[in-house]
Amino acid sequence: MAIIGFIGLGIMGRPMAKNLIKAGYKLIVYDKFAKYDDLVSLGAERAVSSKDVASKSEIIITMLPNSPHVKEAILGAGGVMEGLKPGSIVVDMSSIAPEASQEIGAALSAKKSVLLDAPVSGGEPKAIDGTLSIMAGGDKAAFEKVKPILEKMGASVILVGSLGAGNVTKLANQIIVALNIAAVSEAFVLSAKAGVNPHAVFDAIKGGLAGSTVMNAKVPMMLEGNLKPGFRIELHIKDLQNALDTAHKVGAPAPLTASVMEILQAVQADGMDANDHSAIVRFYEKLAKIELWK
């Protein structure tokens, strides 16, 4: 089995790394900020830097918050590039700007190595149970080599195009998720304000055309007042900013994305940036002067 390096062991990266260890892979792990003694206790080797990870691995996975963090881990001082061996494959599973993926990929190509961008969807619950949706971009041969590894973390692993296509797909995913959460927030606050029990509304419509994975996952949280993050507001703001930047660069209209971005900004301004993105409902509750969970 290939030796796998894993950089970024936060809410998503930690359970993903655990699933690889459970599958029998030898891991070398590193995170600049998070503690990961639990992974070491499961058999992972502790690295001292991203460079150290790369020098001891054939395949390196990164799972970090945004483009600057990925660039620092790969291209920065003490980064992956300094320890990279020719023929290595770097799989960036972060959600970053597509242009950043292409820039990093060009730098790795000069070192005779390959970058795949392979962001994920599903949040912490699906990271834990290994059923993430993984959308990849990059070289097909490299993808086929790492696909069995990715399948230990995801139920769906799809190559969608060339380098950067994975992150374009993730941006599309994040637009749909954000708009869906906003739509159900608007609808359920309307129901409650009109005097109809939102629990009954949920039971009545979840099996119909309006039903969705987002509704089934987020509405119960809204009805319970549970804002524990599976995916934080601040990260969804980051993703929608990347989506808007990309839309502007390619000339694609994104008025609904811009509207939901303003809602997210308002929720963040109310101090909920570390809450789950289902906290979008709080924007509607505040205006309607009603709370679904009471």
| Residue 182 forms part of a structural domain | yes
- Among residues 116, 144, 161, the one where a domain terminates is 161
Residues 155 and 212 in one domain: no
DSSP class of residue 85 equals P
| Residue 229 forms part of a structural domain | yes
For CA atoms 2, 61, 136, 219, give the dihedral sign.
Answer: positive
The predicted structure's pLDDT at residue 21: 98
DSSP H or E run through 12: none
Residues 154 and 20 in one domain: yes
123 pLDDT above the threshold of 90: no
Query: What does the alpha-carbon distance between residue 261 and residue 159 come to, in Å, rounded to a whole number?
Result: 28
- Per-residue confidence band for 294, with pLDDT thresholds at 50, 70 and 90: confident
Residues 7 and 134 in one domain: yes
| Residue 215 forms part of a structural domain | yes
C-beta atoms surrounding 188 within 10 Å: 25
- Among residues 108, 127, 161, the one where a domain terminates is 161
> What count of Cα atoms within 13 Å lies in the side-chain half-sphere of residue 215?
19
C-beta atoms surrounding 181 within 10 Å: 26
Angle subtended by helix axes 198-205 and 165-193, to nearest 10:
130
Residues 209 and 149 in one domain: no
Residues 99 and 145 in one domain: yes
- Among residues 125, 143, 161, the one where a domain terminates is 161
The predicted structure's pLDDT at residue 185: 98
Count of structural domains, the chain: 2
Q: What tens digit of pLDDT does each residue of 60-82 get? A: 999 999 999 999 999 999 999 99
| Residue 293 forms part of a structural domain | no
- The CA-atom distances, in angstroms, between 92 and each of 164, 242, 251 are 11, 16, 26
Residues 20 and 107 in one domain: yes
Relative to beta strand 132-137, strand 120-121 is: antiparallel
Q: What tens digit of pLDDT does each residue of 150-164 get? A: 999 999 999 999 999
The predicted structure's pLDDT at residue 174: 97
Q: What tens digit of pLDDT does each residue of 125-142 get? A: 899 999 999 999 999 999
Mean predicted confidence (pLDDT) in 177-189: 98
Mean predicted confidence (pLDDT) in 223-229: 95
Residues 153 and 16 in one domain: yes
The predicted structure's pLDDT at residue 212: 96
Residues 268 and 128 in one domain: no
The predicted structure's pLDDT at residue 30: 98
| Residue 222 forms part of a structural domain | yes
Cβ-contact 32, 7 below 8 angstroms: no
Residues 9 and 101 in one domain: yes
Q: What tens digit of pLDDT does each residue of 260-278 get? A: 999 999 999 999 999 999 9
Give the domain range for residue 75: 3-161
| Residue 223 forms part of a structural domain | yes
R_g over Cα of the chain: 20
Query: What does the alpha-carbon distance between residue 105 and residue 67 come to, in Å, rounded to a whole number?
Result: 13
The predicted structure's pLDDT at residue 230: 84
**Coil vs helix vs strand at 76:** coil
Query: What does the alpha-carbon distance between residue 49 and residue 157 come to, in Å, rounded to a whole number?
Result: 29
Query: What does the alpha-carbon distance between residue 243 and residue 172 come to, in Å, rounded to a whole number?
Result: 8
HEC profile for 190-244? HHHHCCCCHHHHHHHHCCCCCCCHHHHHHHHHHHHCCCCCCCEHHHHHHHHHHHH
2 pLDDT above the threshold of 90: no
1 pLDDT above the threshold of 90: no
Active site residue 140: no
CATH code of the domain in which 184 resides:
1.10.1040.10
Catalytic residue among 18, 51, 126, 170: 170
- Per-residue confidence band for 284, with pLDDT thresholds at 50, 70 and 90: very high
Residues 70 and 115 in one domain: yes
Q: What tens digit of pLDDT does each residue of 212-224 get? A: 999 999 999 999 9
Residues 140 and 30 in one domain: yes
| Residue 246 forms part of a structural domain | yes
Residues 282 and 249 in one domain: yes
CATH code of the domain in which 60 resides:
3.40.50.720
Average per-residue pLDDT for the chain: 97
The predicted structure's pLDDT at residue 102: 97
Q: What tens digit of pLDDT does each residue of 3-53 get? A: 999 999 999 999 999 999 999 999 999 999 999 999 999 999 999 999 999
The predicted structure's pLDDT at residue 190: 98
Query: What does the alpha-carbon distance between residue 137 and residue 164 come to, in Å, rounded to a whole number?
Result: 6
Query: What does the alpha-carbon distance between residue 249 and residue 152 come to, in Å, rounded to a whole number?
Result: 35
**Coil vs helix vs strand at 137:** strand
| Residue 140 forms part of a structural domain | yes
